[in-house]
Structure 1
Amino acid sequence: MASKYKDKDAGVVLSFNGSWVSWTHTAIAYAAFISAFIVGVSLHYHKIVQNEWYGYPQEWFPSVSATIGDRYPERSFFMVFIAMTAGPRFALVGLWYLLTAKPGQFLPKFVAFWGVFRTLTCGGFTYVTSTDDHDWHDIFMISYIVATIPWTFGCLALSPPNAKAIKYRKYLCGLFFGTMIPLVYFFIQHKVHRVPGAYTIYAFFEWALILFDVGYDAVTALDFQTFELVVKDVKGLSKGAHPSSVSAAELEKEKELATGGVFSQGYTVGGVVDTAADVYLGFVFWSVLTSLGVVVWFFPLWYMGISGYEVFVMSSISPLLLGIRPIRSLVVNNLRAVHLLSLAGVMAYMVQNPVYRLFAVGFGVSMQCLAWTATLYSESLHEGRLEAKILALIGGLLMSSIVKFAWQTNNPIWPIMHAANGGWNGTGLILGLLAVLRSTRRGPLHTGDNGDRQAGSSILSAFAIAGLFFGLHSLLSDTSTMILWVWEGYPIRGPFSNTHAWYTIFAMTGGMVLGLLRPGFVASWTAYGIACVGAAMVTLYSNWFGYYGALILSVYLMGVSIPLITSAIKKSPAVTFGLGFLFYNFLVLFHVWVVAYAFVPGGPLVREHTDWIMITMMLCIGAGVFDLTSTRAGRSKAKYQKRPNASAHRKYHFGAMGVLNVLFLAAAFLRFPTNDYKPYHAEDRVLTAGIWTIHFSLDNDMWSSEYRMRDLIKEMEVDVIGLLESDQQRIIMGNRDSTQLLAEELGMWVDYGPGPNKHTWGAALLSKFPILNSTHHLLPSPVGELAPAIHATLDVYGTLVDVFVFHSGQEEDPEDRRLQSEYLSKLMGSTSRPAFLLSYLVTKPLEGNYNTYVSETSGMHDVDPSDWDRWCEYILYKGLRRVGYARVSRSTITDTELQVAKFVLPPADGSGESALQAQRAWEVDDATRNSRVEERDVPEGWRFPAVFRGEGVRGHRYHVFDEPRYFNY
């Protein structure tokens, strides 16, 4: 196209409008995908619709990856066109930067970086296909998707005042990210649940994602009309001119509406650093607070009752000191010193003695609560600064949940972590010191000398703070907590901890956004009523319906935090936060009492009443809502929103939320299950089973023990293991789930067993063999603690085998144990398949209830009746050939050894005869069955690892017998 300015500038030989860069990029990019699709469907249709589980006709539409990367020549068509796209793509990014760059603004540079990075990663997954290197292809692909987030929202934020372009970006952005929800859902249905046809539906959403992605970049054609190349800004838009017939003010208003009104001013490096420091201090607060329960729990766990150290639960009531004016003034005027002292909770990992470590954590919690309350109080005269600190505190919880997800539910700066078990305590401490120095460099606005300034009831606000912090802590401090509330076993009928945790993170993020942009709604009785419905759903229902209630409650708790904390801090902080944390502590104890009722005074009064806890929590929050609505707190908010630059901090916190969500997506990608698990000795048809009481994954020195457990289970080559005392999804246990780390590190399917709202100490099953079905049982326990059991069916080398995992009631309740033995005996006897029991029975061999478990009713045999040294752990079996049995010392991991047995599956004979019938053909009398042979007389694949003979390794060795036992085959 000839330039109309050519006569005015003879140096311009060729020029064309900048929009042609966008149109060229769009045309070639679409041509790359469409040409590959046409060629692929024409030449290799049945091959490119085939996936790892199904082919045509179950799957009939090809995915993008299969179309562009698996076959020649469609792969070549795609590569040629996508290579041609690179030039226009880099030009598009460059022109966008020139269009949006303004002196002193950081955001255009940030967006340009992600634009270039996104282009490079596109080349990565294009030229390194899944066939070439599956891992690197996926890394480039996920990096491209992650980079799309800052690019998309950055372009929206920087949009010039062009009404049509803004409208199209809003629509395409919404469609792009909205499409990702069903995309992920159907991918999980395909990959995890192996649903026929799910991959075809996934493919449609994948292609839609491509169309929306390229279409979003095509919108730049509307903005680049102001450019003429060789580059000349012919209309002056990059200099701030507005050549539109619509007024600039109206267009800026439209832009602010599209972007939430938080990008009206540019980013600065200082603002980014300030926000990062504040959010990190919020993360430290939640990390130290959530660690207190774990270190307190260690002591009653070992004392098997009240130890006296439980008093440290009250460490959080330190804000009561702010009721004394001289102390309040001292703290507020020395916030840096108090924040530095609060890092004692992070430094506690340096203390080896558990008692002194508890002291350090208790002091750290006390200082954290005091420091944050005083910080909020000191900022309460300025609405913007106060809101920024509240966002940092709540954002710290979001960061804590994401970090725990990345570390498989352990927090790397907890005092139970250190370098040997995955801790990053030193790094966390250094970052904490830097964050304190940065965050506290400004002086307080409120010196602590003023009295109360806002109408309303401090007592009602104290109840609100108690309910709010309890809800945030007990339900949202780990992404898997409420997922496990609704977990009911296999086949999976609800969310799964590592594949659906992003729903919880999305709900938490959405709640923060809602609380910022619609504070009046989240503080209303309407929102409260909806939240009460959500609380009832997650308490009373299971599977997806219950989880939908959990998501509703998550959004509400995060959203209502902003108005409730804002209102509370403007009253007396000693009352609202001091008494608030006192009431919160009573809720924490209530949270423990409902399951520990057999060991605490007054426990039977609240036995199994999680519903009462949920009602109490919502009533406390309701008190705060009543206070807000009755005092018309929304007036101050409306006034605040009109103040110039009052929301300048919001763009940084929106950015922080975006970065945290991107980091979560990266962690979720790394943790996505492979489901390609294989047993250790498949060639010998051997199944190695184990039982272990893991003492809530705290070792004798108060360190998290998952890594040590993982190593022992792996080196013992255990295929199926039952874990007891495994439910840690409570405040007092840190809201953890050790089965996630063990299952992912060892390559096993996992059934968590009865969830935390079932009031047991926990029973879990991990298996190298697919879990086809599982049911959870709560055995009769009229007096003592509830006895959990899992009954699962495994696919073992093509044979259906049942496994039972069971934890009996304590010794003090003989009637409970008798009833439980009868129930379990009948349950084991109800199956005609081969089966084995991994259990904690609390009985002596050959005596009492033992003869109910090992009986004609159950059909079970003892793995080794001559082992007289047992009291708790037992392995029973039927329909299998038991060939070996061993007991492995625990070292300092727990208070109970690992017991392991080896079984051989009957060979398939092709006649349709069941495995149990085949086994019965092998049956012999007890004397012959229990006769022992030497290790040299059994095949190599049947033997236990030799590494644990003699002194063993790391404190683990074969003991009691000093060597494994082998039995007559």
Structure 2
Amino acid sequence: MAPKLKDGDVVLAFSGKWVSWIHTIAAYCAFISALIVGVSLHYHKIVQNEHYGYPDEWFPSVSATIGDRYPERSFFMLFIAITSGPRFVLVGLWYLLTARPNSNLPKFVAYTGLFRTLTCGGWTYVTSTDDHDWHDIFMISYLVATLPWTIGCLALSPDNARAVKYRKYLAGAFFGTLIPLIYFFIQHKVHKVAGAYTIYAFFEWSLVLFDVAFDAVTALDFETFELVVKDVKGASKGNTKMLADSVLEKQKDKQVGQILSHRFFWSEAIDAAADVYHGFVFWSILTSLGVVVWFFPLWHMGISGYEIIIMTTVSPFLLSIKPVRSMVVKHLRLCHFLSLAGLLAYQVEDPVLRLFTVGFGVWMSCLSWAATCYTEAGYPIRLESKILAWTMGLLASSVVKFAFKTSNPIWPTSHASNGGLNGLGFILAVLAVMRSTRRGPTGGNDLNLQGRQEGSSVLAGLGIGGIFFGMHFLLADSSTMILWVWEGYPIKGPIAAPHGAFTIAAMGAGLLIGLFRDSLATGWTLYGVGCIGAALLTTRSNWTGYYGALATAVYLMAVSVPLIGSAARKNPATTFGFGFLVYNFMTLFHTWVVAYAFVPGGHLVRERTDWVVTATMILIGCGVFTAISSNPTTQRKRTVINPNARKQRSYYIYVLSALQLCSVAIAYLRFPTYDYVPYHKDEKILTAGIWTIHFSLDNDMWSSEYRMRDVIKELEIDVIGLLESDLQRITAGNRDTTQFLAEDLGMYVDYGPGPNKHTWGAALLSKFPIVNSTHHLTPSPVGELAPAIEATLDVYGEMIDVFVFHSGQEEDPEDRRLQSEYMSRIMGASPRPSILLSYLVTKPLEGNYNTYVSKESGMLDIDPTDWDRWCEYILYKGLKRIGYARVSRSTITDTEIQVGKFAIGEQVPQDEKVRNRNILEAEVPEGRRFPQMFRGEGVRGHFYHVLDDAPRYYA
């Protein structure tokens, strides 16, 4: 019954639809007036971008139009200010129209609408010139909030067929426009294609039109409202409660709709967040184990014995012993707390003791989670929550690594000095464990609990081994599969940022499939799709390979939910203990295919990543088979979802949505700027360096990328080759130091041959644009593969070739001979000035040195008199070399930094005596000198050494 209104004279009454119309007209006027004024007064300026101007670019982007220029900026701000009033009213009316008892979604959508309105004012009135950071923060917040606003409005739409139809069309057009928008922005920003920004601008303007039009549809719904202004007497304002006319409820046969219609409770949301963070801690500890184990064979150059620690994952085997199983089940909270030792390992300085501490954490973590799933197996709702925590924990780990440029800030290789947040991570982990384990085990400790399934525990264990390995192998970092398909410049495929968000989105989509479509996730059809995706990922590159990667990500996450659920209902010692044993075998297998030269029997699986991927899919197939056989399709189709399960799922979907929105924001923030400037632009100096970084672990087992960044910056290196740089494997933590260095130093990056090319890695970082690059696998019939990068750089307008090369080991002389001939040929084939940044394994003036430095290659040694070299060399041709220095490594790695300076565009001395004549530093202009801070004792253990403890300069 409608509330009674106070008597009084009606001053004004109008239909609610006019709120929508005023909002729409004012918003469009803001943008269109700015466009008209900008084109009229500053056309050539607003179509100009950092690469091209008129006539290549002939239509301005939104940001250029409404930016800092007067008076178009003033027109835009005026009408946007007018828009704000109707906008707030529109959000309020939408809430009143859609509010329902015990439903939280209308409130959430209303808060989102208010948030979007406020952030719109933020990026409108705080321009990038005023404060670039806050402008970006407001803009990102607005864009991120658009997704839940749009989806929420669609979900809450009243039963108005015309309005629903328009919303669907406009929402589809809006999100569909994002794909070409991103494509043409990358064409402009990365590939520097003339005219691409104009096409991008059209899609950007389309987004504005669709965004405003989507809200304009509310005019069809607000016809049910009449807004009345009355003049009434008395101090009371009357009953301010306003009720919408009756509208039909949404259909109740859709799971997502049922889930989102439940009343929201913060306590349950915190439970879900705590569970997911607990899962994140599990994956953080597990993924750190490979890194700390890997440290030891690196220094032993072969099997060290410490590799046995990887077997700590098989602790669930203890659950086969009834007294142990009973004790673990009764003290699950304590066991989970003990597993947090893996997070406290960063406090242990000694590498061996730190390794053992992490191993103990992994032992307790695997045991605790297996026991948790076992105890909850008879209670589907609680079991599902633990499975979601486990799987979403991996997704959260990928999001965190995406934010921290492939490093996990709570790993035991991190601390405060290298970006670690270990203390905060541990405190949150303690709180998460307290929250997620506050409800003790609900069942007995025997295998006859309700819900136990028949079927082979061995096959289930094979499936667990396959799915955990596949998730860790390919999904532990959002850029792993992107680097599998990377082929160099010009870029023809995805890049780590922003496309890592696509990988994370695919993971989230797969998780929803596993949650809502159990029969599809365990069906052979989707298994076939997963196999095809894995095959494309393994055999193809660029976008074709990445499409396979996305299909693989969807499948692995989808099938993980039912496979873990099926395994939990069987013998835990077999399913999880044997499963983690299989996981360990696969981890060694995927390491052996690269480390074959250093491990027994390694040559049997040399370069067989295809075998690894095939074995993974076969193992998962075993798990699918037993899951189907133990839970027939007819039974699964008859399953009725418990209302409590729907309610519980809603909170995990909220957490999943938050993680996905975070990944989108991170992708925006990490998008490359490509506005890099060399250190000595005015002097036209190129400073090149070579460094073997030993997989970014320093001598004390700390992650070394921060220290590397600092010394590279202080040495003012414009172009640097990094060797032993491929970290995209389980044993190296699925990391990529080049992402961190490139973004923090402002450099272009070529990762070199990808992780599936079976090398130890060669990477190139450059302040100068990389015009083209080719990846080489040089002849290596016996020993380890020797990677090389051949790149053409645009250096102050001159094309210069840079080669980065890592030769084979000393034990394989024939390999090194063949490699020297190969490199000599490709360097000699270059008609351009060239630089070789290399690891050659030869003495100066002897053996293969005379192949690298020869008439065929045309290359010269940067300093033929430097006799104290064995590994690293800098060679060059067609350039004027002006300086050379050797800088100590400190404790970062086992190899020094070598640096050479070259003057671009100056005549090269032809006479050898003139060319190699040393001059005093006093004769060298200031802008051509090496930094003074590395003289004497230097900084942080880095100082000039060997060459009379000073740089050398040449005439």
In the other structure, the counterpart of 1:338 is: 335
Q: Check whether the contact 1:885–1:964 (CA below 8 A) recurs between aligned residues.
A: no
Per mean C-alpha deviation after superposition, the further-off stretch among 54-63 and 155-164 is: 155-164
Q: Check whether the contact 2:158–2:247 (CA below 8 A) recurs between aligned residues.
A: no
1:756, distance to aligned residue in structure 2 (A): 0.6
Q: Check whether the contact 2:104–2:261 (CA below 8 A) recurs between aligned residues.
A: no
In the other structure, the counterpart of 1:192 is: 190
Deviations 1:531-584 (A, max 9, x none): 111111111111111111111111111111111111111111111111011001
Q: Check whether the contact 2:689–2:899 (CA below 8 A) recurs between aligned residues.
A: yes
| Aligned: 1:311 with 2:308 | yes
**Whole-angstrom distance in 2 between the partners of 1:595 and 1:820:** 18
* Equivalent residue letter for 1:764: A
**Whole-angstrom distance in 2 between the partners of 1:170 and 1:488:** 39
1:135, distance to aligned residue in structure 2 (A): 4.2
1:321, distance to aligned residue in structure 2 (A): 1.2
Q: Check whether the contact 2:607–2:758 (CA below 8 A) recurs between aligned residues.
A: yes
> What SS is found at the alignment partner of 1:15?
strand
> What SS is found at the alignment partner of 2:686?
strand
| Aligned: 1:141 with 2:139 | yes
Deviations 1:306-346 (A, max 9, x none): 11100011111111111222222222222211111111111
In the other structure, the counterpart of 1:892 is: 891
Q: Please, what TM-score do these two structures have when normalized by structure 1?
A: 0.94
> What SS is found at the alignment partner of 2:536?
helix
Task: Summarize the alignment of residues 359-758 of structure 1 with structure 2, pairs less than 5 Å apart.
Answer: 359-451=356-448, 453-758=452-757
Q: Structure 1 629/744 Cα, relative in aligned 2: closer, same or farther at 3 Å? A: same
**Whole-angstrom distance in 1 between the partners of 2:942 and 2:44:** 53
Q: Check whether the contact 2:514–2:561 (CA below 8 A) recurs between aligned residues.
A: yes
In the other structure, the counterpart of 2:876 is: 877
| Aligned: 1:85 with 2:83 | yes
**Whole-angstrom distance in 1 between the partners of 2:512 and 2:740:** 31
**Whole-angstrom distance in 2 between the partners of 1:755 and 1:451:** 49
| Aligned: 1:176 with 2:163 | no
1:127, distance to aligned residue in structure 2 (A): 2.3
1:509, distance to aligned residue in structure 2 (A): 1.3
**Whole-angstrom distance in 2 between the partners of 1:225 and 1:443:** 54
> What SS is found at the alignment partner of 2:438?
coil
Per mean C-alpha deviation after superposition, the further-off stretch among 628-637 and 319-328 is: 628-637
In the other structure, the counterpart of 1:915 is: none
> What SS is found at the alignment partner of 1:903?
strand
1:136, distance to aligned residue in structure 2 (A): 3.6
> What SS is found at the alignment partner of 2:56?
coil
Q: Check whether the contact 1:106–1:267 (CA below 8 A) recurs between aligned residues.
A: yes
1:226, distance to aligned residue in structure 2 (A): 4.3
Deviations 1:730-771 (A, max 9, x none): 000000000111111111111111111110001111111111
1:231, distance to aligned residue in structure 2 (A): 8.5
* Equivalent residue letter for 1:826: R
> What SS is found at the alignment partner of 1:14?
strand
Q: Structure 1 365/265 Cα, relative in aligned 2: closer, same or farther at 3 Å? A: same
Q: Check whether the contact 2:97–2:244 (CA below 8 A) recurs between aligned residues.
A: no
Deviations 1:228-263 (A, max 9, x none): 33499x9x998797455xxx4xx3337x47x55321
* Equivalent residue letter for 2:261: S
In the other structure, the counterpart of 2:324 is: 327
**Whole-angstrom distance in 1 between the partners of 2:641 and 2:351:** 53
**Whole-angstrom distance in 1 between the partners of 2:342 and 2:171:** 42
1:24, distance to aligned residue in structure 2 (A): 2.2
Task: Summarize the alignment of residues 249-268 of structure 1 with structure 2, pairs less than 5 Å apart.
Answer: 251-253=250-252, 256=254, 259-268=256-265
In the other structure, the counterpart of 1:961 is: 947
1:178, distance to aligned residue in structure 2 (A): 3.0
1:97, distance to aligned residue in structure 2 (A): 3.5
Deviations 1:581-613 (A, max 9, x none): 100100000010000000000000000000000
CA RMSD of aligned residues (A): 2.4
**Whole-angstrom distance in 1 between the partners of 2:203 and 2:563:** 40
**Whole-angstrom distance in 2 between the partners of 1:81 and 1:785:** 66
The alignment covers a number of residue pairs equal to 945
> What SS is found at the alignment partner of 1:874?
strand
| Aligned: 1:923 with 2:923 | no
List alignment gaps of at least 5 residues for structure 2.
231-237
Q: Structure 1 216/444 Cα, relative in aligned 2: closer, same or farther at 3 Å? A: farther
Q: Structure 1 875/158 Cα, relative in aligned 2: closer, same or farther at 3 Å? A: same
Identity %: 67
In the other structure, the counterpart of 1:760 is: 759
Q: Structure 1 109/198 Cα, relative in aligned 2: closer, same or farther at 3 Å? A: same
Deviations 1:350-408 (A, max 9, x none): 11111111111111111111111122222222222222221221111111111101111
Q: Structure 1 677/840 Cα, relative in aligned 2: closer, same or farther at 3 Å? A: same
**Whole-angstrom distance in 2 between the partners of 1:168 and 1:338:** 55
> What SS is found at the alignment partner of 2:498?
coil
Q: Structure 1 126/689 Cα, relative in aligned 2: closer, same or farther at 3 Å? A: same
Q: Structure 1 642/110 Cα, relative in aligned 2: closer, same or farther at 3 Å? A: closer
1:958, distance to aligned residue in structure 2 (A): 0.9
In the other structure, the counterpart of 1:24 is: 22
Per mean C-alpha deviation after superposition, the further-off stretch among 127-136 and 575-584 is: 127-136
Q: Check whether the contact 1:483–1:547 (CA below 8 A) recurs between aligned residues.
A: yes
In the other structure, the counterpart of 2:215 is: 217
* Equivalent residue letter for 2:934: F
> What SS is found at the alignment partner of 2:873?
strand
Q: Of residues 951, 960, 967 in structure 1, which corresponds to 2:937?
A: 951
Q: Structure 1 237/648 Cα, relative in aligned 2: closer, same or farther at 3 Å? A: farther
1:134, distance to aligned residue in structure 2 (A): 4.4
1:159, distance to aligned residue in structure 2 (A): 4.5
Q: Structure 1 79/928 Cα, relative in aligned 2: closer, same or farther at 3 Å? A: closer
**Whole-angstrom distance in 1 between the partners of 2:896 and 2:788:** 20
**Whole-angstrom distance in 1 between the partners of 2:504 and 2:430:** 27
Q: Structure 1 370/169 Cα, relative in aligned 2: closer, same or farther at 3 Å? A: farther
**Whole-angstrom distance in 2 between the partners of 1:869 and 1:801:** 28
Q: Structure 1 119/923 Cα, relative in aligned 2: closer, same or farther at 3 Å? A: same
**Whole-angstrom distance in 2 between the partners of 1:313 and 1:743:** 32
| Aligned: 1:938 with 2:935 | no
1:101, distance to aligned residue in structure 2 (A): 4.7
Per mean C-alpha deviation after superposition, the further-off stretch among 150-159 and 642-651 is: 150-159
Q: Check whether the contact 1:949–1:962 (CA below 8 A) recurs between aligned residues.
A: no
Q: Check whether the contact 2:96–2:244 (CA below 8 A) recurs between aligned residues.
A: no
List alignment gaps of at least 5 residues for structure 1.
908-917
| Aligned: 1:204 with 2:202 | yes
> What SS is found at the alignment partner of 1:795?
strand
Deviations 1:42-78 (A, max 9, x none): 5544443332222334333332222333544433332
1:708, distance to aligned residue in structure 2 (A): 0.4
1:161, distance to aligned residue in structure 2 (A): 5.6
* Equivalent residue letter for 2:843: K
> What SS is found at the alignment partner of 2:731?
helix
Per mean C-alpha deviation after superposition, the further-off stretch among 194-203 and 403-412 is: 194-203
In the other structure, the counterpart of 1:815 is: 814
* Equivalent residue letter for 1:702: M
Deviations 1:484-509 (A, max 9, x none): 11111111111111232121112111
* Equivalent residue letter for 1:17: S
> What SS is found at the alignment partner of 1:805?
strand
Per mean C-alpha deviation after superposition, the further-off stretch among 26-35 and 876-885 is: 26-35
Q: Check whether the contact 2:11–2:229 (CA below 8 A) recurs between aligned residues.
A: no
Deviations 1:667-694 (A, max 9, x none): 2222121111111112222111111100
**Whole-angstrom distance in 2 between the partners of 1:6 and 1:99:** 19
**Whole-angstrom distance in 2 between the partners of 1:6 and 1:237:** 10
* Equivalent residue letter for 1:599: F
